[in-house]
Amino acid sequence: RRAATPRLTASTCCYCGVGCGVLIESEGDRITGVRGDPDHPANFGRLCSKGLALAASAQSTVGRALRPELRPSRGALRRPVDWDTALDTVARRFADVISEHGPDAVAFYVSGQLLTEDYYVFNKLAKGLVGTNNIDTNSRLCMSSAVTGYKLAFGADGPPTCYDDLERARTVFFAGSNMAYAHPVLFRRLEAARAADPSIRWVTIDPRHTDTAAVSDLHLRIQPGTDVALFDGMLHHLIWEGRIDAGYIGRGTEGFDDLKRAVRDMTPAVAASICGIDEEDLRTAADWFAASPATLSLYCMGLNQSSHGTDKNLALINLHLATGQLGRPGAGPFSLTGQPNAMGGREVGGMATMLAAHRDIGNAAHRAEVAAFWGVETLSERPGLTAVDLFDAVAGGRVKAVWIVCTNPVHSMPDIGAVRQALQAAEFVVVQEAFADTDTVPYADVLLPAATWGEKNGTVTNSERRVSRVRPAVGPPGQARPDWWIAAEIGRRMQARLRPGTPPLFPYREAGAIFDEHAALTRGRDLDMSGMDYRLLETAGPQQWPLPAGSLHGQARRYEDGRFATASGRARFHATPYRPVAAATSARYPFHLTTGRLRDQWHGMSRTGRVVQAFSHAPEPALDMNPRDAARRGLRAGELVRIRSREGELVLPLNTTDDVPSGTVFAAMHWNGRFLNSGGINEVSNAAVDARSFQPELKHAAVRVDKA
Ligand code: SF4
C-alpha cells in the first residue's frame, strides 16, 4: 500500500518574535511533522529546537481545554455546558457589571500569543463596545519599555531596523539578551555573517556568562540593573574623546546639549565602578561602538523588564543617535520582541495605554478617528489599567469582572501571591485558554476552550515589522474555537444588551475580514498597511510595514532619510539619570536574583512542557549560584534551597556554576505549578514598575537563600 502524501500548510512558528516560517505536514486531523519554510525571509528554512518540536507538542491533546465549563457559584466545581450557555453567561454577567458599576468595572487581560485578528476584536470589544481602556496584555511584561523608548526618541513605536541588518552589521552589541537561546535563528544568521567575516565584533552586556557572552569578543559583566550607568559612561567617554558624530546630531536630532550636561558626572571611572567592570573595557566598548562602520544593538528583557526600562532603552538609543549609528544598513537599535505577536498587539492598540494603529488615548483627534471608523459615539479618555494595576484593581474591588485570554498570570505576573488573592476576590473570572491545566484556570468561573497553533487562521507580526500568515493545518479538538470567534460571539450578545439596535460591531465570518478592517484603520499612520491583505500575503509572501495602498512592497528600514516621526522631524535625546534597582539588597536579602530563559523551553511550558526532548538540555528546575557563595553558606549542589523575598518564597534544587557572579543568583522563568509545588520564580519577584512604560521589574529581586 502506498503511504498517503501528507498535506503541507505554510504557517508561522508560534513561539518567539523571530517569526520563522514553517511548513506543517498533516494527515487527517493530525499534525505529523513541521519543518522550516525555505522561502520565508525570517529563517530561510532554519528552525531552532523549539520550532523543531512543534509537531510533537501539537500531537497531544493531554491538558487541552475541550469544552466550555461553568461553575454556578464559588466553591462549586465547573461543569461542562454548551457554547450558547457559556457565551450567554459571559455576555450577561459582563453587561450586568457594566450597567451597575460602569464600564471601568470590567477588564480584559490578553496576550502576545494571540493573532492580530484575535487582538483586534478584543480591543474593539473593550474600547469600542464596552467603553473602557481596561485592556492590557502580557506584552506589558515583555516589551512596553521598548515601545516607550521608541516613541520618546523617534516619535513612533517600532524598530527602525530589519533582519537584513544582521548580515550587514560590523559590530554587534547584545544588551540584556541571551540571543543564542531566546532568538536562536537570528543568532545563527549572525554566526554565519561572522564566519564569513571574522573581523565582525560582538559585545555582550549581561551579568551572567551566557552562551551568547561565551562567544563574544568582549563581555561586560555588569551588576544587575546598571545598564544606564554603562551607556551614560560610554557616551561621556565618546563626547570627551570627540568621537561623536556632530554632523548627524546637528542635522537630525534635538536635545543633545541637555544630555551632554546630564552625563557630565558619569565619567567612565564612575560608571565602571557602579557597573562593577573594568574601566578600560567600558572605554573599549564605547570606541568599538562609535568607530564601527555599522553598529547594531540587539536588546531584550534585560533592558525592558526593569523599573527604569524606558531609561535603559533611551540611554542605548542616545548612543546610536550621538554616533550616527542609525538609518543605514547594519546600524541601529533593534529591540527583539519576545512573543510571536507582541508587534501585532501594538498595531491594533491592544493595550491600556494606546489606541489602534499607534494612536494615543490622550489625543482627542485620535479618539474621534477610531470612534468614527468603528461607528461608535465616543471612546473613553480615561487611562486604562496596566497589568500590575489591573490585578490590584481586581483585588481592591474596583474591577469586578475580568476576562483572561491566552495567558497564565498566576505564573507570569510579578508577586503572584497578590494575583491569586485578586482572582479570589473578583466577582467573575473568565479564562479563555487552549490548555485546562495552567495555574490560572482553577480561578475561572467560566472556562472557554480556545483553538491554538496549527488550528488557527490569521496573521502575526515579527520583530522586523513583517506580517506573516498563520494557517490552520487541522481543526481544533473537541469544542475549542478560535479566539476571535469567541470574542465576536460574546461581543454580539453584549451589544444586544448594552446598545440594542445599533449597527453590528462584530459582523465577521472569517479572519480575513478582520484583517482588512485592521489594515484600513492604519491608513495614513506611520505603520500604514492599507496596501496589505491576505491575497498579497498569499502571492508575495510575508510583508513589512509600512506598506501603504499602491505600494508593491514594504519598507525595510525606517528613518533612512534622517527624518523622524516627531513633530519637528528630529529624533530626541533624553537625559537618563542612573537609578538603582527597585529592591535593594540588604543583610536580610543579600542576593540579586535575576531571571531568564532556557534554550528549549518557552514561557510557561504549556506546549514545550509536553515534549520529552525539550527537557534534555535542562531536565529540572534549579537555582544557579556561584560556588563560592554556596560554600560560604554551607550549601551543596543538588540539595533543596528556599528562596525568600519580601513578597514570597519557593523551593528549588541548587546548581552551582561560575556562570553567575558572586552575589547574584539566577532562575529560569519557565517552571510553574505543573512542575513545582509553587507558581514559579515570580513567587519572589516584586511589582515595582517603570513610571512611563508600566513594565514590571521581573529581571530583579532581592532574595535570601537558605537550606530548605
Ligand atoms: Fe520558533 Fe523563534 Fe525558534 Fe524561530 S527562533 S523556530 S520563531 S522559537
Question: Class for domain 7-58, per CATH?
Answer: alpha beta
Q: What is the Å distance from ligand 1's center to 590 Cα? A: 36
The answer to whether the CB of 48 is under 6 A from ligand 1 is: yes
What are the phi and psi torsion angles at 660 (to 5°)? -105, 140
Give, using CA atoms, the residue closest to atom 4 of ligand 1. Answer: 20
pLDDT in tens, 201-221: 999 999 999 999 999 999 999
Which residue's CA lies nearest to atom 3 of ligand 1?
Answer: 48
Residues 144-336, CATH architecture? 3-Layer(aba) Sandwich (3.40)
Please state whether 79 falls in left (phi above 0), alpha (psi between -120 and 50) or beta: beta
Tell me, what's the ipTM? 1.00
As given in the structure block, the three cell numbers for residue 19 are 517569526
Q: Name the DSSP class of 526.
A: T
Per-residue pLDDT, 61: 81
Cα(384) to centroid(ligand 1), Å = 32
> Which pLDDT score, from 0 to 100, does residue 112 have?
94
Mean pLDDT of all residues belonging to the chain: 97
CATH topology of domain 591-707: Barwin-like endoglucanases (2.40.40)
Q: What is the pLDDT of residues 254-266, one digit of tens each?
A: 999 999 999 999 9
pLDDT of residue 419: 98
- Is residue 336 within 8 A of residue 298, CB to CB? The reply is yes
Mutate to test the pocket of ligand 1, among 12, 22, 44, 47 (most ligand atoms within 8 A of CB): 47
Summarised one tens digit per residue, pLDDT across range 66-88 is 999 999 998 899 999 999 999 99
**Does ligand 1 lie within 6 Å of residue 338's CB atom?**
no
Q: Is the model more confident about 677 or about 216?
A: 216
**Average of pLDDT values for 429-438?**
97
Q: Where does the pLDDT of residue 62 fall: very low under 50, low under 70, confident under 90, or very high at 90 and above?
A: confident
pLDDT higher than threshold 80 for residue 229: yes
- How confident is the model at residue 338, as a pLDDT? 87
Contact in structure between 383 and 105 (CB atoms under 8 Å): no
Decide: 335 and 151 in contact? Cβ < 8 Å: no
Contacts of 176 by beta carbon, 8 Å cutoff, 6+ apart: 205, 206, 227, 299, 300, 301, 302, 303, 304, 312, 699
- pLDDT at position 656: 98
- Give start-end residues of each CATH 2.40.40.20 domain in the chain: 591-707
CATH 3.40.50.2020 fits 69-142+340-526, yes or no: no
Average pLDDT over residues 369-395: 98
Instruction: Look at residue 2 in the predicted model and tell me its pLDDT.
Output: 57
Q: How far does the centroid of ligand 1 lie from the alpha carbon of residue 218, in Å?
A: 26
Alpha helices in 292-383 (DSSP H): 301-304, 309-323, 342-348, 364-374
Report which residue type is found at 532.
Answer: M
- CA–centroid distance, residue 184 to ligand 1 (Å): 7
Query: Whose CA is closest to 121, among 386, 483, 414, 438?
Result: 483
Residue 696 forms beta bridges with which residues?
689
Ligand 1 mutation pick, 11, 14, 20, 608, max ligand atoms within 8 A of CB:
20
pLDDT at 433: 98
479: pLDDT strictly greater than 90: yes
Residue 126: pLDDT band with limits 50, 70, 90: very high
Give percent above pLDDT 70 in the chain: 99
Q: Which of 561, 140, 145 is nearest to 317 (CA)?
A: 145
Cβ 19 under 6 angstroms from ligand 1: yes
The single residue listed with the C-alpha cell 557616551 is: 235
- The C-alpha R_g of the chain, in whole angstroms, comes to 24
Q: How high is the pLDDT of residue 531?
A: 97
Quick one: pLDDT at residue 511?
98
Quick check: 276 pLDDT over 70? yes
20 alpha carbon – ligand 1 mean position (Å): 6
Q: pLDDT tens digit string along 587-608?
A: 999 999 999 999 999 999 989 9
In ligand 1, the atom with minimum distance to the C-alpha of 52 is 6
In the chain, residues under CATH classification 3.40.50.740 are 69-142+340-526
Q: What is the mean pLDDT of residues 435-451?
A: 97
Residue 4, pLDDT > 80, answer: no
How much distance in Å is there from the Cα of 4 to the middle of ligand 1?
29
* Cα–Cα nearest to 109, from 353, 355, 491, 409: 409
Phi–psi pair at 666, nearest 5 degrees: -135, 140
- Output the pLDDT for position 552: 86
* Full 3-state SS string of 441-508: HHHCCEEEEECCCCCCCEEEECCCCEEEEECCCCCCCCCCECHHHHHHHHHHHHHHHHCCCCCCCCCC
Residue 5 — pLDDT band, cuts 50, 70, 90? confident
CA distance 69 to 429: 12
The alpha carbon of 574 and the centre of ligand 1 are apart by a number of angstroms equal to 34
Residue 3 confidence (pLDDT): 61
| Degrees to nearest 5, angle at CA 143 with 140 and 146 | 125
Residue 664: is its pLDDT beyond 80?
A: yes
pLDDT for 1 beyond 60: no
